[in-house]
């Protein structure tokens, strides 16, 4: 089991709902997200205060595909994330299913 699965299991043991888990991770790691520095992060995403797509899932904006900088983000290491381009592909959880 990797760190992402461990984290989800810890929250599941505490009986947290999916929304509560998202909120907790947002509180813990939201500041580490470097999406705002990514070439794909456009005005629409900025105005909607988007980010942490790896947990929250796809963007509601139309983003033009470019180089994803997730591999440089600390959250990838913190949670052993395996994918990228979360803003258009969906969350880590969705991509693992």
Contact residues toward ligand SF4 (CB under 6 A) are 33-35, 38, 40-41, 51-54, 68-70, 73, 75-76, 81, 84-87
Q: Least distance (Å) from ligand SF4 to the CB of residue 62?
A: 12
Question: Toward ligand SF4, which CB reaches closer, 15 or 26?
Answer: 26
Nearest CA among 95, 91, 94, 3 for reference residue 53:
91
Question: Toward ligand SF4, which CB reaches closer, 22 or 84?
Answer: 84
Q: Least distance (Å) from ligand SF4 to the CB of residue 5?
A: 16
Q: 5 Cβ partners below 8 Å, 6+ apart?
A: none
23 is written with which tokens?
A: 């909120």
Q: Least distance (Å) from ligand SF4 to the CB of residue 49?
A: 13
């Amino acid at each position: 089991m990797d760190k992402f699965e461990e984290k989800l299991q810890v929250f599941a043991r505490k009986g947290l709902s999916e929304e509560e888990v998202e909120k907790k991770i947002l509180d813990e790691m939201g500041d580490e997200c470097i999406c705002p520095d990514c070439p794909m992060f456009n005005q629409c995403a900025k105005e909607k205060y988007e980010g942490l797509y790896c947990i929250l899932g796809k963007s509601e904006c139309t983003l033009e595909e470019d180089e994803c900088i997730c591999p440089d983000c600390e959250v990838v290491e913190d949670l052993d994330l395996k994918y990228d381009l979360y803003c258009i592909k969906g969350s880590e959880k969705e991509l693992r299913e």
